Amino acid sequence: MLLQRESDESRKRPNRLGAKLRNLFRRRRPKGEANGELAEGAGVAPAKKNELLLKASQMWGKTVDNLCFSMAFGTAAVGSILLFRMLNKTKVYGLKNVPIEHENVLYCINHNSLLDNFIFEAAAYVPKIFFQRQYLPINLADRRNFFGDPSSRKLRDRVMRFLGRHFFRHLKAYPVDRRTGDMGQVEEWRKLLKDNIVIVYPEGTRSRTGQVGHGKPGVGKLIHEARPIVMPVYMDGTAKVLGVGMKFPTIFKTIKVYIGQPMDLSAILQDDPPSDRRGQMLYYMRISEAVMDEIRHLNPNYRPPTNEEEGRDVPVASPSQPGDPS
């Protein structure tokens, strides 16, 4: 009887060792969970982890982008200095006219060579671009010449697509489908121009004669809608370095870059464009031609045409082929 009573009492006594072990391995409940409330910070760990991963991914992407830009820009800068300042001579006039703004600035340049944008950037913004990346202009470039034909399987187009994606894109070249004649592209250019410096070639293509051609209505529409700081630029000698039909650049040539003062187009821009499409094209051509005329007058050897010569070559805007910058 005595043994049985001790056994019953031992069962009723709490097992202190077992209780300690259970408390040791028991999951600690967050404060406030016992009252049915979610503790502050409970369940947030996964969200914070995702946020950290997102930030790390963004930082990595920015690092890679900066590295690619440094490599592309470094290559272009070294090549430009070598080709345009050492193997050839570049003279710049009107450098004081370059605006300090880097937003809504439109450079309108006559077009003779695929190297025109590199020559101008090296003349106007090097070495500033090394320290202030926002001064690197966006170049509205023909897709086929700088990014390759997206529908072609030729080796040349494959190489250009690779260069466009990994080289020209980091130099802020923006592909333009020049051959489509789509005026809808102007809205894209206007958005680019709002926060950037943009280089455009109002002629729409490279000159085959060396003469400054007529402007296209696409540039006139861009100026009318964006109201940018319009900077006329005349470049001479670029066709001798790498003109139309030339596969390799030549050396020991002289390139001249004339940078004009900001244009005042208020007399034209104060007028509203006509409601009919043909009238609109003629109005935009009027703006573009005013820019081209200013570019021509930057050439110190320019001779204004006589009345007879003016009547021979009058540009006519076709609504089906409005033309775009390249």
The confidence band for 322, taking pLDDT boundaries of 50, 70 and 90, is very low
Percent of the chain with pLDDT over 70: 78
Strands 173-176 and 197-200: unpaired
Q: Tell me the mean pLDDT in the region 179-197.
A: 83
Mean pLDDT of 2-31: 53
Question: Mean pLDDT over all residues of the chain?
Answer: 82
CATH class entry, domain 58-301: alpha beta
Which residue did the predictor score with more confidence, 95 or 62?
Answer: 95
Q: For residue 18, count other CB atoms closer than 10 A to its CB.
A: 9
pLDDT for position 321: 41
Least confident of 107-111, 208-212, 220-224: 208-212
- Cα 241 from chain centroid? 26
Question: Which carries the bigger pLDDT value, residue 62 or residue 158?
Answer: 158
Stated pTM of the model: 0.74
Q: What share of the chain has pLDDT > 90, as a percent?
A: 46
What does each C-alpha distance from 199 to 67, 168, 174, 270, 275 come to in angstroms? 24, 14, 10, 24, 29
Question: Which helix (DSSP H) or strand (DSSP E) does residue 239 occupy?
Answer: helix 238-242
Greater confidence (77 vs 316) lies with 77
Q: Give the residue-averaged pLDDT of 184-206.
A: 91
Sorted by where each begins, the domain ranges of the chain are 58-301
Which contiguous run of DSSP H or E holds residue 318? Answer: none
